[in-house]
Structure 1
C-alpha cells in the first residue's frame, strides 16, 4: 500500500505549519514518521492512503504486521486469446505474491465463449485475475497489473479513450470490483515475450487444458 504522511510542525518560537509528503510504500513511511517524531516538534501525525482514509502510527504498525500472514507485494500478469471461428476466449492469469516471508506463483486459466474479439478477451482476462485475487482474499493493497495489450492498459489508465461499448462495460466491471476489494491498481505495458507465462495459459485454455496451480518460488 502506498500512503502519504501528513503532520503539523511547531518551531521553537511557536510558529506552526502543516506538511504533506509524497506517496511512498507504507513500510518506508512508517520508518520516516518514527524518525520525524523523535524531533519532538510534530503535531497530529497521520498516514493517508489512496482512499483518503487516515491511519495512526499504531494502526499502521498493526497493519504492516498483519499483512505478513496475508498475500502482499503482488504482481499480476494477464493475457487473453481468441478463436474467431468458435468465438471462444482463453484467459490466462499469473500472480506473484509474498506471504509468511515466502514467495509464491499462482497460475490459472479458463475459457469463456461469446466474446467479440481478442481485445475483449484481454479485458475479460484482467477481470478473471481479479476473481483469482479475490479467492486469495487480497484486499486494500496495491497491485501491479502487467499485460501486453495496449488497448486494455491504456484504456484502464485513461491514456486512451474507451469508446466501444463492450470495452466500456468491462472497464466499469473491473473498476467496480477493484473498488469493492480496495485494490490500488498500477498498470505496466510489456512486450509480448515478457508476458509469455500468461500467454501460454490462455493458449492452453483454448486447447482444453485447464491449469490451477500454486507453487513456492525457491530462490
Structure 2
C-alpha cells in the first residue's frame, strides 16, 4: 500500500506550517514518520492512502504488522490468447507478492473453451488471476493489475463503456469477485512486449501445456 504523509510542523518559536509528501510505500513512510517524530517539532501527522482514507501512526503500524505473514504488495500480470481457427483459448497470469519477508512469483495458465474472441479471452485471464488471488488468501488489499489489453483495462477503469453483452457479463463477474475479496484495484496498461511472461503462459496453454508454479524471487518486485 502506498500512502502520503500530511503533517503540521511547529518551530521552536511556535510558528506552524503544513507539509505533505508524495506517495510512498507504507513501510518507507513509517521510517520517515518515526524520524520526524524524534525531532519533537511535529504537532500532528496523518497518513492518506490513494483512496483518501486517513490512517493514524498506530493504525499504519498495525496494518504493516498484520500483513507480514500474509501475501501483500501484490502485482498481477494477465493475458489471454484466442485461436480463430480452432476457437480455443489460452489464459495466463503471473502474480508477484511478498510474504514473511520474502518475494515470490506465481505462474498459472489454463486452456479455455466456449470463448468467442480475443477480448473475451483477456477477460477470462483476468478472472483466472482473481481466482488465484483468492487461493493465495489475498483480501482487503490494494492490488496492481497489469495488462496489454486496452479493452479490459479501459473498461475496468470505466474510461470506455462496455457495450458487448458477453464482455459485460465478464465485467460483472470481475466486479463481484473484487467485492467479495475486498480488493482495491489499480489498473496499468502496458505495451505487449512488457507483458511477455503472461503472454507466454497463454500461448503455452493454447498449445496444451499447463503450468502452475510458485518460486521465490530476489530483488524488488
TM range (shorter): 0.7 to 0.9
Q: CA deviation at 1:141?
A: 2.4
Partner in structure 2 of residue 208 of structure 1 = 208
Greater mean alpha carbon deviation, residues 28-37 or residues 61-70: 28-37
Given the two structures, how large is their TM-score scaled by the length of structure 1? 0.82
Deviations 1:81-137 (A, max 9, x none): 112344322110111222222221111011222122100110111111111111111
What is the rounded CA distance, in whole Å, between the counterparts of 2:53 and 2:191 in structure 1? Answer: 36
Partner in structure 1 of residue 127 of structure 2 = 127
How many residue pairs are counted as aligned between the two chains? 218
Q: CA deviation at 1:171?
A: 2.1
Question: Does structure 1 residue 192 correspond to structure 2 residue 192?
Answer: yes
Pairwise mapping of residues 94-173 of structure 1 onto structure 2 (< 5 A)? 94-173=94-173
Q: 1:7 to 1:173 in 2, by over 3 A?
A: farther
Q: 1:194 to 1:56 in 2, by over 3 A?
A: same
Answer whether contact 2:11 2:41 (CA < 8 A) is retained: no
Partner in structure 2 of residue 79 of structure 1 = 79
Answer whether contact 1:89 1:113 (CA < 8 A) is retained: yes
Partner in structure 2 of residue 42 of structure 1 = 43
Which secondary structure state, in structure 2, belongs to the residue aligned with residue 125 of structure 1?
helix
Q: 1:52 to 1:181 in 2, by over 3 A?
A: farther
Q: CA deviation at 1:197?
A: 1.6
Given the two structures, how large is their TM-score scaled by the length of structure 2? 0.81
What is the rounded CA distance, in whole Å, between the counterparts of 1:28 and 1:103 in structure 2? Answer: 17
Q: 1:99 to 1:142 in 2, by over 3 A?
A: same
What is the rounded CA distance, in whole Å, between the counterparts of 2:163 and 2:31 in structure 1? Answer: 44
Answer whether contact 2:7 2:42 (CA < 8 A) is retained: no
Structure 2 stretches lacking a partner, 5+ long: none
Which secondary structure state, in structure 2, belongs to the residue aligned with residue 64 of structure 1?
helix
What is the rounded CA distance, in whole Å, between the counterparts of 2:66 and 2:14 in structure 1? Answer: 39
**CA RMSD of superposed structures (Å):** 2.8
